[in-house]
Amino acid sequence: DAKTTQPTSMDCAEGRAANLPCNHSTISGNEYVYWYRQIHSQGPQYIIHGLKNNETNEMASLIITEDRKSSTLILPHATLRDTAVYYCIVRFGNQFYFGTGTSLTVIP
Partner 1 sequence: GAGVSQSPRYKVAKRGQDVALRCDPISGHVSLFWYQQALGQGPEFLTYFQNEAQLDKSGLPSDRFFAERPEGSVSTLKIQRTQQEDSAVYLCASSPGLAGPLGAKNIQYFGAGTRLSVL
Residues that bind partner 1 (CB under 8 A): 30-32, 34, 36, 41-46, 49, 51, 85, 87, 91, 93-101
CB of 93 or CB of 108, closer to partner 1: 93
How far apart are CB 14 and partner 1 at their closest, in Å?
Answer: 25
CB of 7 or CB of 31, closer to partner 1: 31
Q: Which one, of 63, 69, 74, 64, lies nearest residue 24 by Cα?
A: 69
**Contact in structure between 106 and 14 (CB atoms under 8 Å):** yes
